């Protein structure tokens, strides 16, 4: 592996990139070699919830499934937060059972996340994808044991340079999510911001990948 893409919805099958492709249980594609699978808060459907959770549990037991996600909380959608938390906590239970990291979609619910992590005593690594908030929020999350993944907003919001620089090298990942830009572009900008060579950035992310995803 040369590059690692922490979160993408586009499988490119590039020989240089290990892609953690986002999958949903209701439209699972078995041809994708490495993936995360979870119930995004936007797409909670109580009519199929039991089946979705069953599918997630089945896939978590396979080596191709590297993480549970994306799941999480979003306070800016109409789905009741209580229902979101219920579905999120059921997925956390599965991640703990099968010792798979969590990849999170999180909007305006950082305090709730920290409370849940402490209350449930979550032990598996948790990565918040698409991070775009201020340095104070980043520090709060880092101090509480979370990892942060950067991509779209790093490319499009120059104010994130300071935030990204403040994140310790052992606590971040890079991603493309749904953007048209390439992972190369994300890596080039991240190396520039960190003032390191691309080769050093690749090594940092390989170490982080091996730590979080327990690969040797």
Which phi and psi (to 5°) does residue 147 adopt? Answer: -105, 150
- At 145-204, the pLDDT tens digits run 999 999 999 999 999 999 999 999 999 999 999 999 999 999 999 999 999 999 999 999
- Give the residue-averaged pLDDT of 20-41: 97
Nearby residues of 131 by Cβ (< 8 Å), 6 or more positions away: 138, 148, 149, 150, 153, 163
Cβ-based burial of 145 (10 A; exposed 0-12, middle 13-18, buried ≥19): middle
pLDDT at 126: 98
Give the whole-angstrom CA distance, residue 189 versus residue 206: 18
| Residues 149, 7 contacting (CB under 8 angstroms) | yes
Structural domains for the chain: 3-212 (3.20.20.140)
Nearest to 105 by CA among 78, 124, 126: 126
Residue with tokens 């499988």: 11
pLDDT at residue number 26: 97
């Amino acid at each position: 592996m040369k590059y690692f893409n922490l979160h993408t919805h586009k499988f490119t099958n590039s020989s240089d990139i290990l892609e953690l492709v986002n999958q949903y249980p209701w439209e699972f594609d078995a041809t994708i070699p490495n993936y995360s699978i979870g119930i995004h808060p936007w797409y909670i459907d109580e009519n199929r919830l039991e089946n979705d959770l069953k599918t997630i549990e089945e896939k978590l037991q396979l080596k191709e499934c590297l993480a549970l996600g994306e799941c999480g909380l979003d306070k800016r959608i109409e789905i009741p937060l209580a229902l979101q938390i219920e579905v999120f906590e059921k997925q956390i239970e599965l991640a703990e059972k099968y010792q798979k990291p969590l990849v999170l979609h999180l909007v305006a619910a950082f305090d709730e996340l920290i409370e849940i992590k402490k209350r449930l005593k979550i032990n598996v690594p948790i990565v918040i994808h698409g991070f775009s908030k201020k340095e104070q929020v980043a520090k709060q999350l880092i101090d509480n044991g979370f990892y942060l993944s950067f991509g779209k907003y790093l490319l499009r919001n120059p104010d994130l340079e300071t935030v990204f620089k403040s994140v310790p090298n052992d606590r971040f990942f890079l991603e493309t999510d749904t953007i048209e830009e390439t992972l190369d572009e994300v890596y080039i900008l991240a190396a520039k911001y960190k003032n390191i060579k691309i080769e050093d950035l690749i090594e940092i992310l390989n170490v982080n990948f091996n730590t979080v995803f327990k690969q040797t």
